[in-house]
Amino acid sequence: MKRSVVFMLLVSLVAVGQSPNDFFREANNAYNEGNYNRAIQYYDSISKQGVHSVELYFNLANAYYKQNAIAPSILNYEKALLLDADNQQVLNNLSFAQNMTLDRFAPLPENELKKWGNGLVFLTSVRGWALVTIMGSWLAILSFFLYDKTRKSGFKRLYFTVFVGLLFCTVFSFAFALQQKGKLRNSRPAIVYASSESFRSEPNLRSEVLLTIHEGAKVFVLENVEDWIKIRLINGSTGWIPQSSIAYISFAVE
């Protein structure tokens, strides 16, 4: 314990003189040496500087996983997916971590239309849709410029058709980015950090315990009442747990 405190103090003292890249190299070296505690402290020091990347959270999650710390590993895999929802390596490791959790909640069945719509909206991340919007906008401007400058009727029709198509693509990608961002904000996903927690019918200790949920379960926060939060499980069940029992899947301070 004392060694850990001393190391954290040393990290804070040299933080001013080291860049995130320096910390990342030190963290990777510690990880490769099997010193996962030290690696975690270095990775954490990077995120506290406001630096976020898939590699950072993936490596941090792996370090926690090596220590059998299920909730922190799942939390950081989920953070990596916020930056790259299609990263297969992160998805695979997240699946391994989830297999170590005690809870097995079956997700609610979705009708095909809703499933198709969500699949389209979440085809890529918000960042991915934003990139599509930017690229589509520039290509639309270019195609309109070519349409305006060319004098051949065949090419004018072609460029105008491309312009209209790109315009629709840009509008839809922008709408999908907003819709996905809204869904993520409203659902406020989080990971249960408590080893076990009573899932109650009301926000007080006198209320009925509906079931017990365990470390690593993914939940969605619906509302806050003082020190309690109302959450939804992936099977659709709703109930209340203490706010201190969870950690939000977010880069912002909740």
Q: Report d(CA 65, CA 200) in Å as an integer.
A: 30
Whether 28 and 16 share a structural domain: yes
Residue, of 18 and 22, whose pLDDT is higher: 22
Whether 10 and 87 share a structural domain: yes
- Report whether pLDDT(16) > 70: no
Residue 183 pLDDT level (bands cut at 50, 70, 90) = confident
Residue 215 backbone phi and psi in degrees, to 5: -50, 135
| pLDDT tens, residue by residue, 21-36 | 888 999 999 999 999 9
Domain extent, residue 244, equals 189-248
pTM of the model: 0.71
Whether 88 and 17 share a structural domain: yes
Q: What is the pLDDT of residue 120?
A: 83
Domain end (from 165, 187, 209): 187
Whether 16 and 84 share a structural domain: yes
User: What is the mean pLDDT of the segment spanning 103-128?
Assistant: 81
Is residue 106 assigned to a domain?
no
Which tokens is 144 given? 């309109």
Is residue 44 assigned to a domain?
yes
Percent of the chain, pLDDT > 90?
67
Is residue 233 assigned to a domain?
yes
Q: Are 216 and 100 in contact (CB under 8 A)?
A: yes
The total number of structural domains in the chain stands at 3
Dmax (CA) of the chain: 79
User: What is the mean pLDDT of the segment spanning 220-224?
Assistant: 93
- Report whether pLDDT(15) > 50: no
